[in-house]
Amino acid sequence: MTTLLQQIANGLVLGATIGLIAVGYTMVYGIIQLINFAHGEVFMTGAFGGLAVWRFVPGVKDMNWYVALPLMLVGGVVVSVTIAMLMERFAYRPLRNAPRLAPLITALGVSIGLQEAVRIWFPDADRSQSFPRVFVNTQIKIGSVEIPATGVLLIVVAVVLGALVQLYVNKSRLGRAMRATSQDPDTARLMGVNPDRVIVLTFVIGAVLAGIAGVLYGMHVQTLGVRAGFQNGIFAFTAAVLGGIGSLPGAVVGAFIIGMVKTLGGQYLPGGTQYDYVWIFVVLILVLVFRPQGLFGESERVRA
């Protein structure tokens, strides 16, 4: 029982990380129907941005964690938001009216380009980088289960930020503009909505979540590599599809399901951790067979 509860806790931590990334995937798709495969690299560059603050900004290493951590989060968010805005402006906006295959291929190219840019920019990026141990030795004990404080922080941040984004989209004026642009950008433009502004805002919100996730993820696992974005990006994309791509609650729920399947499948199902990826996609296929729009997605409506 202790092992089961510990694996559930590990799955929640992994699901929180994936959920913060998956929200960006599903928001961008909901607005412009683009699968932004480079979003995983936005997560990765945000993590390297936070690490750069720790390594290269004088005095940060000597600060208390409650000062150093916000500075690293700000650094990670600034890098991820800058990358996302440049990506939208120069890679995706010129292809907005192009056939869907063109931006999809462009997204893959941007993903590879960002990986190579980090290799060039960050010293020794090809090797796993040691992330600062901010209160990493602090364990929170719940019964017989121990969870690192960084893991608890990831779960709390994912739930709080996911709820805030959902509230913002449903209640704010710009949130209504986002929903209007998602439903019909041409009609939204006639009603005074600027679709370009809405799309940039969508990329920025997704990048903020990805940057925060990248820094907290690095602190939790204590290492960081260039491939971290691709691996977690695939998980996040799968979570968005599983939950119903375009649905914010679906992205978060799908992420926690994937986290559970990976940890519990690696512990209890045949093949162990060598086959935990297989079980994730088995679950995805089963869900899509019986509910093609995902758990929380709506059936696509064809406009007359």
**Residue 270 buriedness (CB in 10 A; 0-12 / 13-18 / 19+):** exposed
Q: State how far Cα 110 lies from the chain centre.
A: 16
Q: Are 252 and 155 spatial neighbours (Cβ–Cβ below 8 Å)?
A: no
Is pLDDT of 15 > 50? yes
Look up the pTM and report it: 0.92
Percent of the chain with pLDDT over 70: 97
Identify the band that residue 304 occupies on the pLDDT scale cut at 50, 70 and 90.
very low
Average pLDDT value for the chain: 89
**pLDDT-wise least confident of 120-129, 213-222, 246-255:** 120-129
E-strand stretches of the chain: 129-130, 139-142, 145-148, 223-224
Residue positions counted in the chain: 304
Tens-digit pLDDT profile for residues 80-109: 999 999 999 999 999 988 888 899 999 999
Residue 273 has pLDDT above 90, yes or no: no
All domains of the chain, ordered by start, with CATH?
2-290 (1.10.3470)
- pLDDT, tens digit, 9 for 90 and up, residues 158-175: 999 999 999 999 999 999
Task: Please give the Cα distance from 129 to 139 (Å, whole number).
Answer: 23
- For 117-134, write each residue's pLDDT tens digit: 999 888 777 778 888 876
What is the tens place of the pLDDT at every residue in 28-73? 998 988 889 999 999 999 999 999 999 899 988 888 888 889 999 9
300 falls in which pLDDT band (50, 70, 90)? low
CB crowding 66-105: b at 16 or more within 10 Å, else e = eebbebbbbbbbbbbbbbbeebbeebbeebeeeeeeebee
Closest CA to 151 of 168, 164, 134: 134
Supply the pLDDT for residue 87. Answer: 95
Quick one: pLDDT band at residue 303, thresholds 50, 70, 90? very low
- Give the mean model confidence (pLDDT) for residues 108-118: 93
What pLDDT score does 70 carry?
93
Q: pLDDT band at residue 302, thresholds of 50, 70 and 90?
A: very low
What is the C-alpha to C-alpha distance for residues 291 and 304, in angstroms, rounded to an integer?
A: 24
